[in-house]
Amino acid sequence: MKDRKFTLIELLVALAIIAVLAGLVVYAVIDVPTGRLSAVTATRLEMMAIALDQYREERGAYPQAASAREIDWPVSAFMSTTGKPYLEGYDPARFKDGWGNRFWYQCPGTMNPEKFDLWSMGRDGAHGKKGVNDNTTSPTDDAADAPCTAADSSDDIANWKRHP
């Protein structure tokens, strides 16, 4: 009987298949936490938006903030006139996005002029695109007067739709 040995090409093909599979696994493992944190952030953002709508229903207007600012409202800001909380379990020290950053609020909104703008800076912790006008607190993508676009690479999570 003749000993069967692997050729160099067979070994290289097997290694290539293993490398591709390993790359897919690593990508999936790295992307899952980011997706989970984004989902947590979007859920908290929606909870805050609902609480703000309830606030407006009861008091006739949203809390005013002519310029964008971090949300650090006291617990009493989320209590109805009947003493029930608009946002159950709200603690300003702990109510943050999935990456530990505070949410931002502006009313009237730049992107939602009839309501308010509410957003998280996302994973990179910067407003808009990372490295582009990082010091702005305006809910826009490149400059203070340039609205977000669908092609914008920002990882911010917001209560407005990206414009086409």
The pLDDT assigned to 17 comes to 92
Q: Where are the domains of the chain?
A: 9-158
Average pLDDT estimate for 28-41: 75
The pLDDT assigned to 133 comes to 41
Q: What is the pLDDT of residues 129-152, one digit of tens each?
A: 654 444 344 454 443 333 443 334
Residue 3, Cβ density class (10 Å: 0-12 exposed, 13-18 middle, ≥19 buried): exposed
Average pLDDT, the chain: 76
Q: Which fold has domain 9-158?
A: Glycoprotein, Type 4 Pilin (3.30.700)
Q: Which helix (H) or strand (E) holds 120?
A: strand 117-120
Of 128, 6, 116, 131, residue with least CA distance to 65: 116
Give 126's contacts (C-beta < 8 A, 6+ positions apart).
Answer: 134
Q: What is the pTM of this model?
A: 0.63
